[in-house]
Copies of this chain bind each other. A is one copy, B any other.
Amino acid sequence: MTVKCIIDEDKLDKLASLAVNTGLSIKTNQDLLITSPVEALPLVRRIALHAYKAGANLVIPIFSDSELTLTRYGYAPNSSFDKAPDWLYKGMAEAFNNNTARLAIVGDDPMLLESQDPDKIGRSNKAVSKASKPARESITSFNINWNIIAWPGRSWAARVFPSLPIDEAQNQLAEAIFLASRVNTSNPGEAWAQHNADLLKRSSWLTQQNFDYLHFTGPGTDLKVGLANNHAWMGGASKCQNGIICNPNIPSEEVFTTPHRLKVDGTVSSTKPLSHQGTLIDEIKVTFKEGKIIEAKAAKGEEVLKKVLDADEGARRLGEVALVPDSSPISQSNILFFNTLFDENAACHIALGQCYSKCFKGGNDLSKKQIQQFGGNSSMIHIDWMIGSKAINIDGLHSADLPTPIFRNGEWAN
């Protein structure tokens, strides 16, 4: 099949190589499972090439197609939306248990489902979350090396650059992805090594401080985020339980850790829209009490937000808090990507739902029960949303001490 590709082939190849060799650090005889929109076939083909060159055993792509998704919403019986292909997710979990690496390519229209019934969307998301729980836990627990990168999908590009002709919009989005992913450099692998060193410096300092609370203040935000006992800050490269060091997100500008699921109090406002599985949720404002969201509003997509919060017991509590300076290249690009992989790297953010067991001292060896005792949250969802901006200050607090400035006006305080 010949696929017309109007995107810079050289940079696309660098992105593929970066995903395989830095993102995944794939090892000889590892299998690789790729999930991808069918539109990203030219990128998948290059990834497979680099993976096999690096010694991968089998590269198995699982493709999705936006039009098939819309056909389902338009014509499938109502009961369909409580179903998910359990056998496929179970199989993926089995693959991960056998040390298969995982690469996810994002690139669909972020507003694909905007005119669909929120009840169907909510039920479908819940069914998928439930079916994919074991596979997702292999990823969130870093049992295996994994990576997410982006393909500049045409419908996505049209959302980001609505005033441009579609070919030009796709090219602009491609260039923005290349820039954010650091493949516009002569040696992307080296650029990532330096970037990882910078993120490690920040995360090590924060882990060492061992703050009890972070205090976020800004317009519409006065939020105390208690941190889990024995929490550790992470960022950039991550050592997986299979011994491989991977860079799970490309791009990535964040350092992040686990909040205490019972110790979050106050009010917080989102600073960017959240694109959640095809629906845009904007101007979120929620109030936490003892870790739990007791009030939630959104100017747009409130119904979907409320369904997300009702997904399970842990969906109203935090599983992640992340710090990103306003000077991050993605923030500076002033592009709103409507995609979490990018937008979360333009601003500080929090995530509802499942925590990363990795974000504890000795995380790899902790049981689920220990993680819960330390305050880690558990849920079948993990949804990031942005609360950072130029107007946000953050202080770190120990119970009895004076605040330590961490961020001032959206930047690292030192």
Residues of A in contact with B (beta carbons under 8 Å apart): 1-2, 28-29, 31, 37-39, 41, 44-45, 48-49, 52-53, 55-63, 65-68, 71-72, 74-77, 79-80, 83-85, 87-88, 90-92, 94-95, 98, 153-155
Contacts and interface: CB of A to CB of B under 8 A. Distances in A.
Nearest to A95: B87
B67 A31 contact: no
Contacts of A44: 65, 68
Given A41-B38, A48-B71, A63-B63, A87 B76 contact: no
B80 A87 contact: no
A41 B3 CA distance: 13
Given A83-B58, A154-B2, A65 B52 contact: no
A276 to B, nearest CB: 21
A48 B76 CA distance: 9
B57 A83 contact: yes
A45 B68 CA distance: 6
B65 A80 contact: no
Closest 10 CB pairs of A and B: A91-B91, A52-B75, A87-B91, A1-B39, A87-B94, A63-B63, A52-B76, A87-B95, A57-B80, A60-B85
11 contacts: A1-B39, A1-B67, A1-B154, A52-B77, A57-B79, A57-B80, A59-B71, A63-B63, A85-B95, A87-B92, A87-B94
A53 B84 CA distance: 18
B1 A31 contact: no
A49 to B, nearest CB: 5
Contacts of A77: 28-29, 52, 55, 57
Contact of A65 (B41, B53, B74, B75): B41
B56 A71 contact: no
A57 B28 contact: no
A71 B32 CA distance: 14
Nearest to A45: B67
A343 to B, nearest CB: 23
A59 B91 CA distance: 17
Contact of A1 (B65, B71, B80, B87): B65
Given A1-B39, A63-B61, A88-B91, A52 B79 contact: no
B76 A56 contact: yes
Contacts of A37: 1
Contacts of A76: 52, 56-59
Contacts of A56: 76, 80
Given A1-B66, A38-B63, A154-B1, A71 B85 contact: no
Contacts of A60: 85, 88
Contacts of A39: 1
Contacts of A83: 31, 57-58
A94 B90 contact: yes
A9 to B, nearest CB: 15
A57 B78 CA distance: 9
B29 A52 contact: no
A265 to B, nearest CB: 42
A71 B91 contact: no
Contacts of A65: 1, 41, 44-45, 61
Given A77-B29, A91-B88, A94-B87, A48 B68 contact: yes
Given A1-B154, A63-B63, A76-B56, A49 B71 contact: yes
Given A61-B65, A63-B63, A65-B1, A45 B29 contact: no
A7 to B, nearest CB: 14
Most buried by B among A44, A60, A85, A87: A87
* Centre residue among A1, A56, A95, A155 by max chain B CB count within 10 A: A1
Nearest to A97: B87
Given A48-B71, A63-B63, 6 more contacts: A38-B63, A41-B65, A45-B65, A52-B71, A57-B83, A90-B94
